[in-house]
Amino acid sequence: MSQPDVKRLARVFRALGNENRLQIFLNLMEESRLDLAKGRVHDCFLAKLLGGLEVGAPTVSHHVKELADAGLIDTEREGKQLICSINPEAMTALRALFAVEA
C-alpha cells in the first residue's frame, strides 16, 4: 500500500474513531441500505441525523464535516438543508481493505 493510501486510511480511521461520528456514519449506512433495497436514491438530511444522538446541531454539523473531510460521506446544500450520503468510493475502499487475506 502506498504512503498516500496509508495517510488517507489513517484519516478515515481517525474520523471513525469518535463515537458520535461512528454512530452518524453507521446511521447513514443503514438508511442508505434500506433506501437502496426499496429502489430509492438515498438522501439523509442533517436534521434526521440528530435523532438518537445526545449532542446538539452544531456538534453534529462538526462531525458531518469531519466525515466529509475524511472522504467517507458526501454533502450537498439544498436551500437551508444539508443532505448527506455515503461516499460509494470510500465504501469500496473499506470493503477492499477488510477483504484482504493475511
| Cα 90–Cα 92–Cα 93 angle in degrees, nearest 5 | 65
Model pLDDT for residues 15-30, shown as the tens digit of each residue = 999 999 999 998 888 8
Q: What is the pLDDT of residue 47?
A: 67
Pick the closest to residue 64 from 96, 39, 86, 35 (CA basis): 86
Q: What is the pLDDT of residue 5?
A: 83
**The domain containing residue 80 runs over which residues?**
3-99
What is the average pLDDT across 85-100? Answer: 85
Pick the closest to residue 67 from 54, 49, 55 (CA basis): 49
Q: What is the pLDDT of residue 98?
A: 85
Q: Mean pLDDT score of the chain, rounded to an integer?
A: 82
Could you give the number of structural domains in the chain? Answer: 1
CA distance 71 to 15: 10
pLDDT for residue 61 is more than 80: yes
The CATH number for 66's domain is: 1.10.10.10
CA distance 18 to 41: 27
